[in-house]
A and B are shown apart, each in its own frame.
Chain A
């Protein structure tokens, strides 16, 4: 549902439905300014699907008779989330930055039963396949993205990976560097995951599964402290490390690195 089709909720304000990585969400926002900013920011991800997971932006948590299945306190922003089986409550999400952070955190948890995770990586689609370039800040994610063809970058910062029907796919996300919002809500099967290293010459070196696991673990976005959630995440990433092709990519800052990538 786009901003122009927004409806007024019965008791919780306006609603905005979106889908990120095929995870359907319905934001319930009482603050008109926050609603306007959110609906504009996530416009490319607006959709209407069956049974979206409700997210309530509130001033304080409401008792709903149970303990949350996932909780996170975002102390730097004086915000927090509590997630239950059918809904999540955000407190303190009174600006676009905090709302965006809480959405990322919520997604890390919601992706677990969907065989998915968020990875600090740029995703570029070429010939219908997704190339993921992972690394810490400064590794070159945004550089790689800036050297890609316009319209082929699904994100330059935070990639969403899911296994669906036996295929690992990368999805476009609204989560870009420098707090820019993405606008490509599409996906592509993953060709490979490349650990970035800026060098003077281009070179690609295959990674063993455990090396790819190590490369991804260090760049996964994850917040749950529940042992069961950690085990699920490790299982998902281990599975990905076994099935995906991983490489170290030494690259220089020009378009020639594409020629070094495996077909």
Chain B
């Protein structure tokens, strides 16, 4: 498991704007106006990345929602978190109070 995925808690980057459209999350960064789109399962995970819930907790929810094994769900979440963090869409939850609720 990578160092990124090993971090315990992640939260959405508070500078981002995001919203759900047709069941999918779209995100824009005010720094470059790049639009990021998440598919259905990634959108499900995104909404739960609040700086408080761990990957394992989210994996349990994802497994229940989509009828997959929790260990498979956790692996997918770790991959997703790493990708989102590399795009600076997620930041470490050093200050969970900054989490914005949609």
Residues of A whose CB lies within 8 Å of any CB of B are 208-210, 213-214, 217-218, 220, 222, 224-227, 229-231, 233-235, 238, 241-242
In the bound complex, residues from chain A placing their C-beta under 8 Å from that of B24 are 210
In the complex, which of the residues B16, B21, B33, B37 contacts A227, with contact meaning CB atoms closer than 8 Å? B16
Contact B31 A234 (CB under 8 A): no
In the bound complex, residues from chain A placing their C-beta under 8 Å from that of B21 are 209-210, 213, 238, 241-242
Contact A227 B35 (CB under 8 A): no
Q: How far is the CA of A200 from the CA of B22 in the complex (A)?
A: 33
- From residue B48, how far is it (CB to closest CB) to chain A in Å? 19
Known: A210-B37, A220-B33. A233 touches B26 (CB 8 A): no
CB-defined interface of B18-30 with A at 8 Å, one 1/0 digit per residue?
A: 1101101010111
Q: How far is the CA of A235 from the CA of B17 in the complex (A)?
A: 9
CB-defined interface of B41-55 with A at 8 Å, one 1/0 digit per residue?
A: 000000000000000
Q: Is the interface of A mostly helix, strand, loop or mixed?
A: helix
In the complex, which of the residues A218, A220, A222, A238 contacts B26, with contact meaning CB atoms closer than 8 Å? A238
Q: How far is the CA of A231 from the CA of B20 in the complex (A)?
A: 12
Q: How far is the CA of A213 from the CA of B17 in the complex (A)?
A: 14
* Interface Cβ pair total, 8 Å cutoff: 53
- From residue B11, how far is it (CB to closest CB) to chain A in Å? 14
In the bound complex, residues from chain B placing their C-beta under 8 Å from that of A222 are 33
In the bound complex, residues from chain A placing their C-beta under 8 Å from that of B100 are 227
In the bound complex, residues from chain B placing their C-beta under 8 Å from that of A214 are 35, 37
In the complex, which of the residues B15, B17, B18, B37 contacts A233, with contact meaning CB atoms closer than 8 Å? B17
- From residue A209, how far is it (CB to closest CB) to chain B in Å? 5
In the bound complex, residues from chain A placing their C-beta under 8 Å from that of B31 are 225
In the bound complex, residues from chain A placing their C-beta under 8 Å from that of B35 are 213-214, 217-218
Contact A230 B19 (CB under 8 A): no
Contact A227 B19 (CB under 8 A): no
Contact A213 B26 (CB under 8 A): yes
Residue with the highest number of chain A CB atoms closer than 10 Å, among B17, B19, B33 = B17
> Please, could you name 29 A-B residue pairs with CB atoms under 8 Å apart, sorted by A?
A208-B22, A209-B22, A210-B21, A210-B22, A210-B26, A213-B35, A214-B37, A217-B28, A217-B33, A218-B33, A220-B33, A225-B30, A225-B31, A227-B15, A227-B16, A227-B30, A227-B100, A230-B15, A230-B16, A231-B18, A233-B17, A234-B18, A234-B19, A234-B26, A234-B28, A235-B19, A238-B21, A238-B26, A241-B21
